[in-house]
Structure 1
Amino acid sequence: MTKHDDSSTSEQPEYEVEIPSRDDLLAAVEARLKPTSFDELVEKFKLSDERQQVGLKRRLRAMERDGQLIYTKANAYGLPERMSLIKGRMIGHRDGFGFCRPEEGGADLFIPHHQMYNVLHGDKVLVQQQGTESKGRKEGRIVRVIEPRKGDIVGRYFIEHNIGIVVPDDSRICQDILIPEGQANGARHGQIVVVEVTQRPTRRSSPIGTVTKVLGEHMAPGMEIEIAIREHDIPTQWSAAVEQELARYGETVPAEAYEGRTDLRKLPLITIDGDDSRDFDDAVCAEPHGDGWRLWVAIADVSYYVRPNTALDKDALERGNSVYFPNFVVPMLPEKLSNGLCSLNPDVDRLCMVAEMTINNKGKLTGSEFYPAVMNSHARLTYTKVAAILDGDAKLRKDYDHVMGNIENLHGLYKILKKARQQRAAIEFETTETRFIFNAQRKIESIEPVRRNVAHTIIEECMIMANVATARLIESHDEAGALFRIHEPPATERLTSFRSFLAELGITMKGGDDPSPHDYSDVLAQVAERPDAELIQTMLLRSMQQAVYSPDNAGHFGLALDEYSHFTSPIRRYPDLILHRAIKALLKKQQGPSPALEGAWMYPDDQLDELGAHCSMTERRADDATRQVDEWLKCEYMRDHVGSEFSGVIAAVTNFGLFVRIDDMQIDGLVHISNLDNDYYQFDGERQLLIGENSRRVYRLGDKVRIRVKSVNLDERKIDLDLLSAESPTGQDRMLPKGKKFAKAEQPPSKKQKKQATKARIKSKRKAKESARKGKKPKAPKSKGQKRS
């Protein structure tokens, strides 16, 4: 029995009398064969006091709200799992229907449009499975909204028949929001506004809201970023407590912070970043050491300034990472730290955490040491400058003569690390990225491809080596909790789809159902000289799983590494800050307390699970927001090119048409199936083909095409294209024989199955390492799913 309501709300009500806890109530309901009435619960717990009964009702309602109990038509409380109810998050669709994504994993449930009237995208709901719909998808019925979506809605304000409405910019919210008279906050017709929903939608009425902020005109420069920030709930405001904490710091390193640190100010450390970078996380230095190399990677000591459980820490955790838009950044840390005290700016003292490593002449990490230090960057270099210096630019070599030895050493070390990377068969992508060139009015003048050079890969290899060293440190100390950066092998359904795609191009990939990174690298080597190599790389990337943060080390498949973490960017990534605190905690345990180790922190396992999920979510949130802005800007640019012709490649095939990627600009548009040659078309999802029933003409991934821009819908971020011509880049026959049968794709594994597979791989790895330590030969894995990556 307890006096407290142990609900998940931040303010927990306290009752004057004792009532059963949630756990007690759940146990009581679970013990009965049928749902339990209120009177039965009162009798079981002997709640004779009227105040106890009132408290019990409140608690039961709270448990209903959180989806722990269901109040049935028989006026009794039952368990959702016994009623085959599934708890999940709603995902709306622009066509009016939706999907429920179960919290416990597994396939999404299709929600028909007539079930969507009283829910919004992002709501947490209870759903009952109702069989399958016409396309074979599992269908669900919404039982209850247990947690309304959080965050405001961004949309465009219109006045129609003297009634104010807001049309949400997010196409997954299909209901227009009514704005009562006097609630428009001065918004004018056509402006972009932020709306707070004050009355939820029902089957008979639209949602009602009030305008809380007017963002501006629809086409105003930068509006696309304002919209993306609010649609994806990216925090932008610092709390008042953060401002108070920042006031304690000046513009220079505090005098007391030098105590207990290694002095590296004379070491010729340099930073190498992009031309427009403002926050410098990392500095590097290399020198020959015996028959190998010594490498110093110095990383900004953010943990000294951002202490656990402070206001700064809470705001940084909420953000999770910095978000980089074109010409605009939402930083994880306030500018005073991100661009000032923490940033490794040239010619000023800065606090850092150092990974000092020894590497043999085969590129293998042979030793590492971690310690807090103070440094002074000897030069702020860019990728462009370093590449030019290594190409022999005489002027730049003279300007940076004082660090030329370090640059040459880094280049020499890179050659060895690059060779080691190739030998372990890490998967290397050479996809093209783009950047927007704006004019003075922030309108796009052009979209240009961005090419990586040798300086990018020098820094990349140094950072990988430091991340491996830190991961090994954490792995070797059970008491040190931190997050690994894990990348699991491809899932079955994606692997099957990728193999089918390769087969259409006459390419084979070894490895069967359990390919290794080496098998993927072999494919990239096979296609390196093909005209469709970039598309094949894109499809290979799509076949991969997304890398995430986890306290359990499952290795990094793409980099072909058994241990990997993120240590090198604590200014812009919270997982790196967690790792720095863990390293300091280890050093503190070994060496004793020191001012240099302020900020040390050991995280319990259950907290690390939550942090891993949260940081993975904020990373995806940032990716989604930046992708949305990129799409909007590309559509804005293409509005001025309606009627223009371009060459491109078919980048995706669907049952409703072909997505074409325009060369160099990486802009995708749709050739709708109705704009193809007059015919009926069959879609082969397994092999990603559209086939004309009568002509037997085939459109496949990788086909080179010529298109004309037909129209651009900026609100929906859609570009429609007309197909002028198509040809196979490898001379494949574009006519398919009749009578071809089409295979169905396999069902994807559930979240539970994926977790079990991950645990099995981790267990297998640990057994192998334990056997190696004891000098035993490890046993062969019992199943293909347990093979070491």
Structure 2
Amino acid sequence: MTQKDNNSAADAPEYEVEIPSREQLLDAVEARLKPISFEELVEKFNLTDERQHIGMKRRLRAMERDGQLIYTKANAYGLPERMSLIKGRIIGHRDGFGFCRPDEGGSDLFIPHHQMYNVLHGDKVLVQQQGTDSKGRIEGRVVRVIEPRQGDIVGRYFVEHNIATVVPDDSRICQDILIPEEQSAGARHGQIVVVEVTKRPSRRSSPIGTVTKVLGEHMAPGMEIEIAIREHDIPNQWSPAVEKELARFGETVPPEAYEGRTDLRELPLITIDGDDSRDFDDAVCAQPQGDGWRLWVAIADVSYYVRPNTALDKDALERGNSVYFPNFVVPMLPEKLSNGLCSLNPDVDRLCMVAEMDISAKGKLTHSKFYPAVMKSHARLTYTKVAAILEGDPKLRKDYDHVMGNIEHLHGLFKILKKARQQRAAIEFETLETRFIFNAQRKIESIEPVRRNVAHTIIEECMIMANVSTARLIEAHEQAGALFRIHEPPAAERLSAFRSFLGELGITMTGGDDPSPHDYSEVLKQVAERPDAELIQTMLLRSMQQAVYSPDNAGHFGLALDEYAHFTSPIRRYPDLVLHRAIKALLKKQQGPSPALEGAWMYPDEQLDELGAHCSMTERRADDATRQVDEWLKCEYMRDHVGSEFTGVIAAVTNFGLFVRIDNMQIDGLVHISNLDNDYYQFDGARQLLIGENSRRVYRLGDKVRIRVKSVNLDERKIDLELLSAESPTGKDRMPASKRDKEKPVKEPSKKHKKNVTKARIKSKRKAKEAARKGRKPKAKNNS
């Protein structure tokens, strides 16, 4: 008889003989007052066959790996929770210590240096709580690594004294990896390589690895993207099965796909995207309808081509979303689909899913319906062109005369949707974005600010309306099986910090402990004309929670909407594909089977929970990877500007200095506390400022500053700045020490005090130099 592991996935190992399930083994261990030995388990379940013993040992080892059981020093199996053990993942820190993030939530546990020797960032571990350290942090002791980190490590290959090592690019991995000579794959000193760890670190030895790929020279164009892709484990190779599946698709829509679809080829649908976009997954059309409007949002029917549980689907799910780097993209779908069959290119037939909506004169959604269709885009427009057309550009208006009616109608509809958005007090940001301009050698020539225009907001409002109507459809059918895009209200701690920040700037926010989107919108209105408005918007964003995917609808706080889901980008987001399948499943249930509804799929609740968590993770992974590349490119650009002067604003205050954001480039650099005017500085975390003990000079968030670029460390992606001058957000210079001394006499210090201060300053400077030599940040004195 064959029994499959009850708690495993469909591809779990099968045993040729009957053995206890995981549930039975856990029940047996739980029933005992103390850990149970293997022999006692054999006796309890009456296992007489040697093959049963082998099978159960394998299952017990698997349960150890998953953290369900602990094998004790007394050679017995016990429950982690009875041993006060916490299962979590190690988060390394560049300074050698780390944290354990519990799987079940709660506060991270601090892992001191000596506990980090035999673990790596990303390891799954069991940790025992050990009380608190001198700083009040909950401290943990690593009991066991239950699942080593997955994925290779990217780093720089060095050879010194005939010993080869790889220094990981990820600063959270503090151990250098030893490389045996025969495992170097021909790497040369200083090159970037990919390493597989073959021997784990221990208290007495470094990890040992083998070079699996030589990526190239450290400063080679595009190397920053290669590093980020591997460092964040972003899948970027298609499986052989996907290549085989792609061979089935032609270059045009198959004839059988037209059956059962509404024909919208005569409707003047248009696409409006960025200048460099290549995949067009949404097309729009608006027409007056009585005293309101009718809006069509046609979205590429990816679900027709990417069917559930196929190789294409599995690779798309693993990726979760497309990842966009400067001048490069890691797509969720192969190019044959993303830029070909599924892309709503102009003047060709394409399959789509349509949200057709009726909108009142007050911008309210009154009715909507969904159906599969075939369409033909009547024009491929860019945001820049549409903005110019609406401003009256005669040449463009003539070139696009055949779709001018649609453009004007979309603009008219946008005006009422914008007004409705303002009335419900959705939080609106006008943040500055930047783009890199590369030369022929793919080196950055300049960094330019990019601001949104009216065309961006037209498309945004149309997409929001489609997403709302889709979410309402799913909400109305409890068994629809799809993911909502939820954004919960700010957490209490972040809200308190944001209120303190606003208070320092003389700004008040209403709403008490439970502010509404309207309260946040009022703050943005108050600061709209201030020179530090962008910084305040950034701090407002930081005060909010991150939007995630979930099968349970909790509304969208930022948009001030009760229902919201992602429907409009199935080419680049997996949750949108899930939603399309669910809509087709509902239509199939209502209308019966149809070739146009191929790809319908109803997801069970337990699978949706996993999908929501996975898609939220891949989104964060993409954000982290793109942020890393942006930081690297900005550092590379600033290397050519060492010694240059810029204006900026203090974007963060810490106990070791000030982070300054350079105007118009969104580049952050550090003015270290040792580079400020000679004084002792106290850090006030509540008010986010540094204050000099003797000069009483204050540096706070939002101060306008002038800085000089002092140095750039490309490996650590750090920019060091020198402060030249500072003024408050209102434009008034900080009060100089001489003026304050006149207004508030200071008692002359004694000779003994002067001598002690001089000694302390000499000692402080020595510490700063020593810290700089070792690459560490000295701590600011803080007596608050």
TM interval, short-chain normalised: over 0.9
Counterpart position of 1:328: 328
Alignment partner of 1:724: what SS?
Answer: strand
C-alpha distance in structure 2 between counterparts of 1:657 and 1:459, whole Å: 42
Amino acid corresponding to residue 341 of structure 1 in structure 2: L
Amino acid corresponding to residue 428 of structure 1 in structure 2: E
Alignment partner of 2:182: what SS?
Answer: coil
Counterpart position of 2:446: 446
The CA deviation string for residues 695-733 of structure 1, in whole angstroms up to 9 with x for no partner, is 222211100011110000000000000111111112679
C-alpha distance in structure 1 between counterparts of 2:12 and 2:451, whole Å: 54
Amino acid corresponding to residue 27 of structure 1 in structure 2: D
C-alpha distance in structure 1 between counterparts of 2:478 and 2:4, whole Å: 36
Counterpart position of 1:787: none
C-alpha distance in structure 1 between counterparts of 2:639 and 2:510, whole Å: 45
Kept after mapping to 1: 8 A contact 2:2/2:16: no
Counterpart position of 2:479: 479
C-alpha distance in structure 2 between counterparts of 1:560 and 1:7, whole Å: 40
Counterpart position of 1:312: 312
1:630 is the counterpart of 2:630: yes
Counterpart position of 1:596: 596
C-alpha distance in structure 2 between counterparts of 1:415 and 1:22, whole Å: 60
Alignment partner of 1:125: what SS?
Answer: strand
Counterpart position of 1:692: 692
Q: Give the superposition deviation at 1:5.
A: 4.3
Amino acid corresponding to residue 493 of structure 1 in structure 2: E
Moved more, 480-489 or 51-60: 51-60
C-alpha distance in structure 2 between counterparts of 1:654 and 1:241, whole Å: 51
Counterpart position of 1:505: 505
Alignment partner of 2:52: what SS?
Answer: helix
Amino acid corresponding to residue 68 of structure 1 in structure 2: Q
Amino acid corresponding to residue 396 of structure 1 in structure 2: L
Moved more, 616-625 or 38-47: 38-47
Amino acid corresponding to residue 243 of structure 1 in structure 2: E
Amino acid corresponding to residue 534 of structure 1 in structure 2: E
Counterpart position of 1:554: 554
Amino acid corresponding to residue 715 of structure 1 in structure 2: D
1:282 is the counterpart of 2:282: yes
Q: Aligned-residue CA RMSD in angstroms?
A: 1.5
Q: Give the superposition deviation at 1:7.
A: 6.4
C-alpha distance in structure 1 between counterparts of 2:88 and 2:456, whole Å: 42
Q: Give the superposition deviation at 1:582.
A: 0.4
Kept after mapping to 1: 8 A contact 2:726/2:734: no
Q: Give the superposition deviation at 1:52.
A: 2.8
The CA deviation string for residues 462-493 of structure 1, in whole angstroms up to 9 with x for no partner, is 00000000000000011201000000000111
Amino acid corresponding to residue 636 of structure 2 in structure 1: E
Q: Give the superposition deviation at 1:44.
A: 1.9
Counterpart position of 1:88: 88
User: 1:239-318 maps to which residues of 2 (within 5 A)?
Assistant: 239-318=239-318
Give the fraction of aligned pairs with identical amino acids, expressed as a percent. Answer: 90
Counterpart position of 1:105: 105
Q: Give the superposition deviation at 1:2.
A: 7.1
Counterpart position of 1:681: 681
Q: Give the superposition deviation at 1:512.
A: 0.5
C-alpha distance in structure 1 between counterparts of 2:191 and 2:7, whole Å: 40
C-alpha distance in structure 2 between counterparts of 1:74 and 1:379, whole Å: 74
1:70 is the counterpart of 2:70: yes
The list of structure 1 runs, each at least 4 consecutive aligned residues, that deviate by more than 6 angstroms after superposition, is 735-738
C-alpha distance in structure 2 between counterparts of 1:10 and 1:134, whole Å: 48
The 1:506–1:278 alpha-carbon spacing in structure 2 relative to 1, beyond 3 Å, is same
Q: Give the superposition deviation at 1:78.
A: 1.2
Q: Give the superposition deviation at 1:53.
A: 2.9
The CA deviation string for residues 381-402 of structure 1, in whole angstroms up to 9 with x for no partner, is 0000000000000000000000
Kept after mapping to 1: 8 A contact 2:727/2:733: no
Counterpart position of 2:38: 38
The 1:702–1:343 alpha-carbon spacing in structure 2 relative to 1, beyond 3 Å, is same
The CA deviation string for residues 73-104 of structure 1, in whole angstroms up to 9 with x for no partner, is 23222111111111001110000000100001
Q: Give the superposition deviation at 1:37.
A: 2.2
Q: Give the superposition deviation at 1:682.
A: 1.6
Q: Give the superposition deviation at 1:677.
A: 1.3
Counterpart position of 2:657: 657
Q: Give the superposition deviation at 1:64.
A: 1.5
Counterpart position of 1:184: 184
1:647 is the counterpart of 2:647: yes
User: 1:766-777 maps to which residues of 2 (within 5 A)?
Assistant: none
Counterpart position of 1:760: none
User: 1:122-521 maps to which residues of 2 (within 5 A)?
Assistant: 122-521=122-521
Amino acid corresponding to residue 548 of structure 1 in structure 2: V
C-alpha distance in structure 2 between counterparts of 1:61 and 1:707, whole Å: 58
Amino acid corresponding to residue 231 of structure 2 in structure 1: E
Alignment partner of 1:197: what SS?
Answer: strand
Counterpart position of 1:20: 20
Q: Give the superposition deviation at 1:59.
A: 2.2
The 1:646–1:272 alpha-carbon spacing in structure 2 relative to 1, beyond 3 Å, is same
Alignment partner of 1:571: what SS?
Answer: coil
Alignment partner of 2:17: what SS?
Answer: strand
Counterpart position of 1:780: none
Amino acid corresponding to residue 435 of structure 1 in structure 2: R
C-alpha distance in structure 2 between counterparts of 1:15 and 1:254, whole Å: 45
Counterpart position of 1:749: none
Alignment partner of 2:404: what SS?
Answer: helix
C-alpha distance in structure 1 between counterparts of 2:309 and 2:180, whole Å: 42
Alignment partner of 2:122: what SS?
Answer: coil
Q: How many residues align?
A: 738
List runs of 5+ in structure 1 lacking aligned partners.
739-789
Alignment partner of 2:314: what SS?
Answer: helix
C-alpha distance in structure 1 between counterparts of 2:478 and 2:153, whole Å: 45
C-alpha distance in structure 2 between counterparts of 1:280 and 1:454, whole Å: 19
Q: Give the superposition deviation at 1:734.
A: 5.2
Alignment partner of 2:646: what SS?
Answer: strand
C-alpha distance in structure 2 between counterparts of 1:114 and 1:734, whole Å: 45
The CA deviation string for residues 527-559 of structure 1, in whole angstroms up to 9 with x for no partner, is 011110110001001111000000000000000
Kept after mapping to 2: 8 A contact 1:269/1:376: yes
Kept after mapping to 2: 8 A contact 1:7/1:62: no
Counterpart position of 2:763: none
Kept after mapping to 2: 8 A contact 1:2/1:21: no
Amino acid corresponding to residue 445 of structure 1 in structure 2: E
Q: Give the superposition deviation at 1:15.
A: 3.1
C-alpha distance in structure 2 between counterparts of 1:307 and 1:501, whole Å: 50
The CA deviation string for residues 339-366 of structure 1, in whole angstroms up to 9 with x for no partner, is 0000000000000000000000000000
Alignment partner of 1:55: what SS?
Answer: helix
Kept after mapping to 1: 8 A contact 2:268/2:285: yes
Counterpart position of 1:770: none
Kept after mapping to 2: 8 A contact 1:567/1:580: yes
Q: Give the superposition deviation at 1:61.
A: 2.1
Amino acid corresponding to residue 567 of structure 1 in structure 2: F
Alignment partner of 2:257: what SS?
Answer: helix
Kept after mapping to 1: 8 A contact 2:97/2:116: yes
Alignment partner of 1:610: what SS?
Answer: helix
List runs of 5+ in structure 2 lacking aligned partners.
745-784
The CA deviation string for residues 604-652 of structure 1, in whole angstroms up to 9 with x for no partner, is 0000000000000000000000000000000000000000010000001
C-alpha distance in structure 1 between counterparts of 2:86 and 2:141, whole Å: 10
C-alpha distance in structure 2 between counterparts of 1:686 and 1:107, whole Å: 21
The CA deviation string for residues 573-598 of structure 1, in whole angstroms up to 9 with x for no partner, is 00000000000000001111000000
C-alpha distance in structure 2 between counterparts of 1:468 and 1:12, whole Å: 40
Q: Give the superposition deviation at 1:8.
A: 4.5
Amino acid corresponding to residue 468 of structure 2 in structure 1: V
C-alpha distance in structure 1 between counterparts of 2:237 and 2:215, whole Å: 16
Kept after mapping to 1: 8 A contact 2:271/2:280: yes
1:542 is the counterpart of 2:542: yes
Counterpart position of 1:742: none
Kept after mapping to 1: 8 A contact 2:726/2:733: no
The 1:8–1:98 alpha-carbon spacing in structure 2 relative to 1, beyond 3 Å, is farther
C-alpha distance in structure 2 between counterparts of 1:17 and 1:467, whole Å: 52
The CA deviation string for residues 221-274 of structure 1, in whole angstroms up to 9 with x for no partner, is 000000000000111111111111111111110000000000000000000000
